[in-house]
Structure 1
Amino acid sequence: MKGLRICATGRALPRQIVTNDALSRRVDTSDAWIASRTGIRERRFCCGEETAASLAADAARLALERAGADPGQLCACITATVTPDYASPSVSCLVQQRLGLPEELACFDLSAGCTGFIYALQAARGLLLQDARPYALVIGAEQLSRITDFTDRNTCVLFGDGAGAAVVTLDQVPYACTLGSRGDAAPLWIEGPGPAHPVIHMDGQAVFRFAVEALPRCVRTLLEQSALRGEEIDWFVPHQANARIVSAAARRLGLPLERFYQNMDRYGNTSAASIPIALDEMDRTGLLRTGQKVICAGFGAGLTWGGVLLTL
């Protein structure tokens, strides 16, 4: 079975850094309260001309340059997002225009909450299996500050903006994927479409209970599919939602927390962008090496969950 291999990654983050102390001047909270409950210290918010699409294009440009991939060899550009610039055109079409990508290219967005990048990877694999062109561009991009309710101190402290991208190709490497959903929007939902300004609504306790069950289940499913043990996985890259969720998942799996990469302290929860941002940061700091096995797993609105085993 042909697996999916990441050729190169890129990330783009807004210039504006918003600390917990800065938020505490806007809403009744504190750095200690936020950090103890989430592990988050700061996040990035778009400002000026920055949007989900502009960040997506910047991240995609870096990934393409680092991969050395000819844009004419792309079969698809897929963006996972819940905060597109417009209902239509898609962020992917805006990326195509900004980067001057060929017209003979499937461009579309995918909405699967914070699990979106995992869904997009599997969608890209399906398209690559049916196309002679060797590459696909997969992006996760969000401008969550645009839909954050800054009167709700329980949710406004969680989210940040950013984008991550990966150029992927098929290869004869170990690969496994699991995807799932439960059509229960009550714990986490976003208003719209309509004239009202949409905001994120979240029942934090319900999402926590869901996440600490879904994340370990994804990992176990991938290990079973690939006939591997947890000790054989070099890195686990979870969706960067909350440090307490990651710690609980590691305990349930009986695996050392040190092998679960975390950067939510600097970026907060960037939804579909969190996993590709983490992968690029790991690569650029020398943590990822050829031949390593990495499990990426996410969970989010829908409710959705999913994971993928990648061999670098």
Structure 2
Amino acid sequence: MHARSTIWTLGIALLLACASCPNGFAQDVVYLKKTNAPGESKRKGEIVNWVGDTISIKGKSGVKDFDTDQLIRFETAWHGGYEDGKRLLEEYRYDAAVDQFASALESEPRAWMQNIVDAKLVECFLAKDDFGNAARHFLRVIDDDPQSRFRHLAPLVWTSSKPNRQQLQKAEVWLESREPMIAMLGASWMLADQSNKKAKQKMERLTRDFDPVVASLAKAQVWRLDSVAPDAKRLELRIELVRSMPKEVRCGAWYLIAEAQSKSKQEDEAIVNFMRIPINDPQQGGLAAAALYQTAWLLKNTNREQQSQSLRNELKEKFGGTVWAN
């Protein structure tokens, strides 16, 4: 009788715990900046949506929306292997991280959390130079949230890497999309062939998009069409433009700036701008690897072999699965 009573008591306690948490999840906690005072405020409830710059929290008085500029941090229940995946990603163990994030994705019913997991998978595949799978998970995010805060992870082409034939076939379909980020992805992959007028026209139209993230990325992508390196005056104007872009989308533009500086024998300036990427945007994976490679090459060619070797070691440790590390 005592054992049955204990089991019954535990069962009731579990039911009560689940009933008090929406959909059986532990209560979410969101920390927000106070509007007219220093410090932070804490809200408990359920995060029911997170689209673009708005996070929606369901509390006792109903659902309330907050601008993500107010968000400091949040606490929630992580499902599947998400936390293990984050740890493995930080350890540069990308294959193992992919397995954990895939497990998390299967067990995670919340759409806003699925977007976070998909974004982590994009990071993993970018670090492996796997544009196909990076694009697959990126498109899942954009399909659910076209104004996603993860748009900066778009697997655009910035280096000499070229998509394969199967990827180019997909890019032709994306090019026709009415969603700017998807159309840009298609145009970017197709611009590997600089004679592709359709991709060029699409990218030039996107430079006039009302969304500063889209317009900034497109303006930098158009620089890939340069037949000759920009002169000093044009390069300076481009640097000013990059500094005016949203910070999260500058890395590709800095890569092209640094590449032009390298061709113009401005080695030290190129080194500084290449290194902005692995320092400020390591989540960009293949692009960060390319920047490390280019910097190591410039250091070697300017008789700084010890620094060059240090960067080559870092490249192999962090991005050993990319073409740049081989």
Normalising by the residue count of structure 2, what TM-score does the alignment of the two structures yield?
0.25
Structure with the greater alpha carbon radius of gyration: 2
Structure with greater strand share of residues: 1
Pick the structure with more helix per residue: 2
